[in-house]
Amino acid sequence: MNLVSAKNISHSFDYELFSNVSLDLATKESIAIIGISGSGKSTLLHLLSTLLKPNSGEVKILGEDVLSLKPKKLSYLRRHELGLVFQSHYLFKGFSGYENLEVSEILAQEPIEDALLKRLEIEHCIHQKVTELSGGQQQRVSIARVLTKKPTIIFADEPTGNLDTVTAHEVMDLFFEYIEQHEAGMILVTHDDTLAHLCDKVYKLEDKELVRVK
């Protein structure tokens, strides 16, 4: 069974963004989506990750048709199986980084791992208020928060946008190890061709179509 399976999805806002997009994510697989600014990458990620309903087509997550899922099942899926890392990372700003992780710990009933904080090099600043952290530190706290949930599917929109090249590669390695060890999968949106090509498959959104380039 695929972790994610999208068939012929189409979406428009005031104009058609794309049509007949199909894509499958298998276990232990990573997929990157690239394309110029405004081509619809983030919108496609929202459609694949249950945040938005496509105008037409089908999205299945772990074999379940997202459009016909009951609200309770959908929130279970979001809480326990999906990990979303977005550019605006939605950390609770009045809290410390650690308190943000505790929210995940409570919701997903998974422990915060010191090794993860060390790996992301945030163990020294994790008790500071989110507003006192740099953009890159905040981004790494949001990655730690998502991985603490132990999701089966990671959806990441420019997760390394605020990081230097070396740190960005370290974070990518962490994601790849995670999906290998936890039989998970990842769909990544990025402007960075080098990072995209580290993934198993690369797709490009171009002229309203999703084309496989790797």
Ligand X SMILES: Nc1ncnc2c1ncn2[C@@H]1O[C@H](COP(=O)(O)OP(=O)(O)OP(=O)(O)O)[C@@H](O)[C@H]1O
Cα of first residue to Cα of last residue in the chain, in angstroms, is 22
CB of 151 to ligand X, least distance (A): 21
Q: How far is the CB of 158 from ligand X (least distance, A)?
A: 7
| 136 sits near ligand X (criterion: CB under 6 A) | no
Question: Applying CB under 6 A, does 35 fall inside the site for ligand X?
Answer: yes
Nearer to ligand X, 43 or 142 (CB): 43
- Under the binding rule (CB under 6 A), the answer on residue 42 touching ligand X is yes
Binding range to ligand X, per CB under 6 A, among 19-27, 40-48, 94-102, 144-152: 40-48
Cβ proximity to ligand X: between 39 and 96 the closer is 39
Q: Is 207 exposed, middle or buried (0-12, 13-18, 19+ CB in 10 A)?
A: exposed
Closest approach, Cβ 40 to ligand X, in A, equals 4
Asked if residue 41 binds ligand X (CB under 6 A), the reply is yes
Closer residue to ligand X (CB): 41 or 89: 41
Binding residue for ligand X, selected from 3, 4, 9, 17, defined by CB under 6 A? 17
CB-nearer residue toward ligand X: 99 or 206: 206
Q: Could you list the residues that contact ligand X (CB under 6 A)?
A: 13, 17, 35, 37-43
